[in-house]
Amino acid sequence: MVKVCRLNQAVADELGTMTGPEFKGAMKELNATLDQMAKLLGIGRRMVAAYRSDHPIPPHIALATRQLRSLLE
């Protein structure tokens, strides 16, 4: 667990954080529904809804979301 926390912190330090509006914007760019985004990220629909608002977004979710966006470029 400690190694995972260090990895999350390293990712956060490298990429910065992701805000709810940025996450919501990524969903819009991907044209993804709550259910689709949940499936893409391997998380629950309720967490996707939470990340769209003010819930803190873990670094690994931010990284995965940015990677999904980069696939569109």
pTM above the 0.95 mark? no
Largest CA distance in the chain: 36
Structural domain harbouring 40: 2-70
Which CATH number belongs to the domain containing residue 58 in this structure?
1.10.260
What pLDDT, on a 0 to 100 scale, did the predictor assign at position 3? 67
Q: How many structural domains compose the chain? A: 1
Residue reference for tokens 């985004």: 37
What pLDDT, on a 0 to 100 scale, did the predictor assign at position 12? 61
- pLDDT tens digits, 1-56: 566 667 667 766 666 789 999 999 999 999 999 999 999 999 999 999 999 998 99
Residue reference for tokens 């940025």: 22
Task: Tell me the pLDDT band of 62, cut-offs 50, 70 and 90.
Answer: very high
**CB count in 10 Å sphere of residue 18:** 21
